[in-house]
Amino acid sequence: MNATDPATNSCESGKSAADLPDYEAELMAFHRAFGRELRRAVRAIPINPGDRVLDVPCGDGFYTVALARRLYPFGRVTAADLSAAYLETARRAVARHPAAAVVDFATADAYRLPFDDDTFDLVWCAQSLISLDNPVVALNEMRRVTRPGGAVAVMEDDEFHRVMMNWPVALELDLQRAVAEAARVKYGSRAGLSPARGLRRDMIDAGLSPAWKQTVAADRQAPFDPAVRAYLRIRLRQTRDFVAAYLSADQLAVLDRAIDPGDEQSLLRRPDAELTCLTTLFLARK
């Protein structure tokens, strides 16, 4: 894969771009654990040889690579992110895959994209709206830089259905209530961790015409492979940290046993453990 660095306008939004965000470990583990299904989702979007595609924010470059491999050898991908650390990570990911389209890199704020109107055939945005205070403004920018008749594809999560495991029913209900309350306190809404729930309305408000949606499902059963185990260790620990203040001592003790890799009854060790990971791909037209 060829990687170039064209001169671009750097957009500032007051954030530090020096380091990777604290969710990076979970994100990379997610890509490793469910990469097969995620790459299949990229193959489902309507792009053609020779198309120009924008990946924003590009993050660690996982989707940049998947898009560039689809566009090989004639298309072109622009990977854009405000984080210099993420752009460097994406460059390294691109360099490991020579048989793919040319990739350009740009420092860019999702609220003020440094590209002309009608530049891209497709704009891709994956699991990033949670970090934006006003996703409609970002979606409107994506629409602006998309050519007439082109598409904006957004992959997003609903926290209440993102990772489903065969927990005890009582624990599952306690967790869902705790997640909702923690989200309300942190984000001002019980659905604050579930941007997929409002995405169709956000697209319409941004002037886009929703065309279709596809649920991307990844099913795994015990014994989990190392990539799934690594993802679950991070995911379950982060879930515990997020909801701990909203569970009773007894509820927290049940959760701790369920996620303790040293406990025989842990979901990480039970021979009957299973999980389903869901994310949703939305496509809208300009």
* pLDDT beyond 60 at 274: yes
Looking at residue 255, its pLDDT comes to 96
Residue 178 CB: number of other CB atoms within 10 A?
A: 22
Looking at residue 99, its pLDDT comes to 74
Per the model's pLDDT, the better-predicted residue between 237 and 6 turns out to be: 237
Q: Where are the alpha helices (DSSP H) in the chain?
A: 24-44, 62-71, 84-95, 135-145, 169-187, 199-205, 226-243, 249-259
Confidence of residue 94 (pLDDT cuts 50, 70, 90): very high
Q: Indicate if 142 and 254 belong to the same structural domain.
A: no
Looking at residue 65, its pLDDT comes to 96
Q: Indicate if 95 and 182 belong to the same structural domain.
A: no
By 3-state DSSP, what share of the chain in percent is helix, strand and coil, each rounded to 5?
45, 25, 35
Answer for the pair 27, 59: CB distance below 8 angstroms, yes or no. yes
Q: Indicate if 105 and 135 belong to the same structural domain.
A: yes
Q: Indicate if 203 and 255 belong to the same structural domain.
A: no
Q: Indicate if 175 and 117 belong to the same structural domain.
A: no
Q: Give the pLDDT confidence of 150-166 residue by residue, as tens digits.
A: 999 999 999 999 999 99
Looking at residue 132, its pLDDT comes to 85
Per the model's pLDDT, the better-predicted residue between 95 and 10 turns out to be: 95
Q: Indicate if 179 and 239 belong to the same structural domain.
A: yes
Q: Give the pLDDT confidence of 181-223 residue by residue, as tens digits.
A: 999 999 999 998 999 999 999 999 999 999 999 999 999 999 9
Domain that holds residue 92: 3-158+194-218+277-285
Q: Indicate if 105 and 183 belong to the same structural domain.
A: no
Least trusted range by pLDDT, from 2-11, 13-22, 124-133, 239-248: 2-11
Q: Indicate if 168 and 143 belong to the same structural domain.
A: no
**Can you give the CATH number for the domain in which 93 is found?**
3.40.50.150
Looking at residue 32, its pLDDT comes to 96
Looking at residue 2, its pLDDT comes to 42
Can you tell me the mean pLDDT for 113-134?
Answer: 94
What's the whole-model pTM score?
A: 0.90
Can you tell me the mean pLDDT for 243-248?
Answer: 97
Q: Indicate if 26 and 118 belong to the same structural domain.
A: yes
Structure tokens at 256: 């701790």
Can you tell me the mean pLDDT for 219-235?
Answer: 96
Q: Mean of the per-residue pLDDT values for the chain?
A: 91
How many CA atoms, within 13 angstroms, populate the side-chain half-sphere of residue 233? 13
Q: Indicate if 153 and 41 belong to the same structural domain.
A: yes
Answer for the pair 213, 283: CB distance below 8 angstroms, yes or no. yes
Hey, which residues does 76 pair with through a beta bridge? Answer: 52, 102
Q: Indicate if 123 and 135 belong to the same structural domain.
A: yes
Looking at residue 126, its pLDDT comes to 96
Domains held by the chain: number: 2
Looking at residue 24, its pLDDT comes to 84
Q: Indicate if 93 and 207 belong to the same structural domain.
A: yes
Q: Give the pLDDT confidence of 31-80 residue by residue, as tens digits.
A: 999 999 999 999 999 999 899 999 999 999 999 999 999 999 999 999 99
* pLDDT beyond 50 at 145: yes
